[in-house]
């Protein structure tokens, strides 16, 4: 079997209100005046442009009817017939290979981007067998992106959604915090045998974590394969992820044109504005296009070209919030080559952050502090092994500089020639077999002797000087 995954209904909240209500109480009647939030439209157009979509100059609103406790009006305003943007492409990257060091780029097609009115939130309490309804977000504006079934596993869907998250954050149209409901994902999953049409799809709704998205999709793929292998039939149903336990619930909708909202019109440029319309009040595509920021894929390419780092390193830098800025701040304060700095940022720094579940902004070692440490190593004041020791001590003692720690613990390089000659002679005398191997042409054994000298000096010996002395004594 192969699977088709469609991260349909990827939606997020980005505005304070989809429509503003002006209540005029006249005896027993209430007058509702519907006003479309222009910021919602601008955010949708901006996102559409970033995803290479065609922006419809005229889009329409519809009512989507269903009756559930989280939808008090009994219908949802959406764009079913003619959405604001269509036919886009999202390019995302995956790390593959044994060491996950190969960056593979893939594409998923964007069917449409539509503006919608959010519903409430259902809070399921399995312990007390009850459901609570939170209506705080009901009526708030959201944007829904519908992707085509171009993904085949949970890992691909998770990578695509993570890339979308980075794009939205770069645009400023969404903070993208899934745990707070700012970005939610519905995944449509179907399986089929190679060469056959796509099978019956099942929708897994309201997934609020990239990690759970991958797990829920892979779980659903295996569930459907199991049903078909047993001779059963996959049902076209909606299933809810909480986050992994899945239950069934069918949904049926009736659509009709929204009678209270006229067609939404956006303009190509200022020249296309009708007479009498203020450019400040209209949504102008060209103006939005000119204000697009550097997108994640472009930023990765720039990092590789500018600093000569590997593509997988640029992938890591961009995917971690704030890590690019940290990396470039370190480079500004040190003369060390970017390809040497990148290892410290993606291995030492990021490894410690992950271990303690900290963000880059919470790092106890600032970019200038790390730059100072790297300068000590670059100028020969400490060895590479000692630099890692100093890093550990800096992490545990925020505020202390690398120079202070080096001085306090006497970690500076041992460069006294007489002292190193004595230590090297001791190592050579106690390892005659290794010396014999070196003299017979096995030069790699010299590294073992160097390691023994470093052990004697606790990593403080000047490696260049040690190699020179050992070569003299074993020649």
Burial class (CB in 10 A: 0-12, 13-18, 19+), 266: buried
DSSP code, position 307: H
What is d(CA 380, CA 372) in angstroms, rounded to the nearest whole number?
13
What is d(CA 177, CA 359) in angstroms, rounded to the nearest whole number?
14
What is d(CA 453, CA 420) in angstroms, rounded to the nearest whole number?
8
Confidence of residue 236 (pLDDT cuts 50, 70, 90): confident
Q: What is the pTM of this model?
A: 0.80
> Cα–Cα–Cα angle for 277, 55, 79, nearest 5°?
90
Look at the block and give the residue holding tokens 């699977």.
3
What's the full length of the chain, in residues? Answer: 475
Confidence of residue 421 (pLDDT cuts 50, 70, 90): confident
Give the tens place of pLDDT for each residue, 125-174: 888 888 888 888 888 888 999 999 999 999 999 999 999 999 999 999 98
Q: Which residues pair with 116 in a beta bridge?
A: 142
How far is CA 456 from its chain centroid? 45
DSSP H stretches of helix in 308-410? 311-319, 323-332, 338-343, 350-355, 367-378, 384-396, 402-408
**Max CA distance (Å), the chain:** 106
pLDDT > 70? residue 196? yes
Mean pLDDT value of segment 2-13: 52
Edge-to-edge, what's the strand order for the sheet holding 254-257?
75-78, 62-65, 254-257
pLDDT > 70? residue 317? yes
Q: Which residues pair with 183 in a beta bridge?
A: 12
Give the tens place of pLDDT for each residue, 437-464: 888 888 888 888 888 888 888 777 777 8
- Nearest CA to 100 out of 326, 311, 302, 308 is that of 311
Q: Where are the beta strands (DSSP E) in 128-215?
A: 130-134, 141-147, 183-192, 202-207
> Cα–Cα–Cα angle for 187, 192, 194, nearest 5°?
125
What is d(CA 66, CA 252) in angstroms, rounded to the nearest whole number?
7
How far is CA 74 from its chain centroid? 36
Are 13 and 140 a contacting pair, CB within 8 Å? yes
What pLDDT shows up at residue 399?
83
First-to-final CA distance of the chain: 64
What pLDDT shows up at residue 216?
92
What pLDDT shows up at residue 21?
34
Give the tens place of pLDDT for each residue, 29-53: 445 555 678 888 999 999 999 999 9
Look at residue 27 and give its three-state secondary structure: coil
What pLDDT shows up at residue 111?
96
Which residues 6+ apart lie within 8 Å of 122 measured at CB? 69, 70, 131, 132, 133, 134
Q: What is 417-474's CATH topology?
A: Arc Repressor Mutant, subunit A (1.10.10)
pLDDT, averaged across the chain? 85
Confidence of residue 244 (pLDDT cuts 50, 70, 90): very low
Give the tens place of pLDDT for each residue, 335-358: 889 999 999 999 999 999 999 999
CA distances from 448 to 108, 221, 455, 472, 475 (A): 51, 51, 11, 16, 16
Give the tens place of pLDDT for each residue, 248-291: 444 567 899 999 889 999 999 988 888 878 777 889 999 999 99
- Nearest CA to 201 out of 170, 175, 177, 234 is that of 234
What pLDDT shows up at residue 20?
34
pLDDT > 60? residue 424? yes
Side-chain half-sphere CA neighbours of 74 within 13 A: 2
DSSP code, position 196: S
Phi-psi region of 30 (alpha: psi -120 to 50; beta: other; left: phi over 0): beta
What pLDDT shows up at residue 3?
59
What pLDDT shows up at residue 247?
42
Q: Kindly report the backbone phi and psi dihedral angles of residue 315, in degrees, each rounded to the nearest multiple of 5, phi listed first.
A: -60, -45
pLDDT > 90? residue 102? no
Look at residue 455 and give its three-state secondary structure: helix
Confidence of residue 205 (pLDDT cuts 50, 70, 90): confident
Q: What are the residue ranges spanned by the domains of the chain? A: 2-169+252-265, 296-408, 417-474
């Amino acid at each position: 079997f192969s699977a088709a995954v469609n991260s349909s209904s990827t939606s997020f909240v980005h505005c304070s209100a989809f429509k503003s209500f002006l209540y005029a109480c006249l005896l027993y009647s209430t007058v509702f005046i519907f006003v479309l939030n222009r910021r919602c439209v601008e955010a949708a157009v901006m996102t559409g442009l970033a995803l290479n979509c065609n922006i419809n100059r005229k889009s329409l609103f519809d009512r989507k009817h269903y009756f559930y406790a989280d939808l008090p009006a009994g219908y949802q305003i959406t764009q079913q017939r003619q959405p604001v943007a269509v036919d886009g492409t999202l390019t995302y990257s995956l790390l593959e290979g044994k060491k996950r060091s190969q960056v593979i780029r893939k594409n998923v097609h964007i069917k449409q981007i539509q503006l919608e009115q959010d519903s409430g939130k259902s809070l399921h309490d399995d312990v007390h067998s009850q459901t609570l309804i939170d209506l705080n977000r009901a009526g708030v504006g959201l944007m829904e992106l519908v992707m085509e079934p171009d993904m085949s596993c949970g890992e691909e869907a998770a990578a695509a959604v993570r890339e979308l998250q980075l794009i939205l954050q770069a645009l400023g149209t969404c903070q993208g915090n899934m745990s707070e409901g700012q970005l939610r994902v519905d995944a449509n999953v179907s399986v089929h045998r190679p060469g056959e049409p796509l099978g019956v799809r099942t929708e897994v709704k309201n997934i609020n974590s990239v990690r759970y998205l991958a797990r829920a999709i892979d779980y659903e793929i295996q569930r459907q394969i199991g049903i078909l292998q047993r001779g059963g039939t996959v049902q076209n149903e909606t299933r809810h992820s909480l986050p992994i336990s899945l239950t069934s619930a069918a949904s049926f909708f009736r659509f009709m044109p929204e009678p209270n909202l006229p067609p939404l019109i956006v303009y190509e440029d200022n020249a296309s504005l009708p007479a009498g319309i203020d450019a400040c009040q209209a949504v102008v595509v060209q103006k939005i296009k000119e204000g697009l920021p550097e997108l994640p894929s472009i930023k990765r390419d720039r990092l590789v070209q500018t600093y000569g780092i590997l593509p997988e390193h640029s992938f890591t830098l961009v995917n971690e919030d704030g890590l690019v800025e940290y990396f470039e701040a370190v480079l500004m304060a040190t003369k060390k080559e970017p390809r040497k700095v990148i290892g410290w940022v993606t291995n030492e720094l990021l490894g410690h952050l992950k271990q303690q579940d900290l963000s880059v902004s919470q790092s106890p070692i600032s970019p200038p502090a790390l730059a100072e440490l790297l300068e000590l190593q670059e100028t020969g004041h400490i060895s590479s092994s000692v630099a890692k020791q100093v890093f550990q001590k800096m992490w545990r003692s925020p505020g202390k500089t690398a120079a202070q720690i080096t001085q306090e613990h006497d970690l500076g390089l041992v460069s006294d020639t007489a002292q190193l000659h004595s230590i090297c002679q001791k190592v050579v005398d106690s390892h005659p077999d290794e010396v014999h191997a070196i003299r017979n042409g096995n030069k790699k054994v010299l590294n073992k002797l160097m390691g023994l000298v470093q052990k004697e000096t606790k990593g403080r010996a000047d490696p260049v000087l040690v190699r020179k002395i050992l070569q003299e004594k074993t020649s």
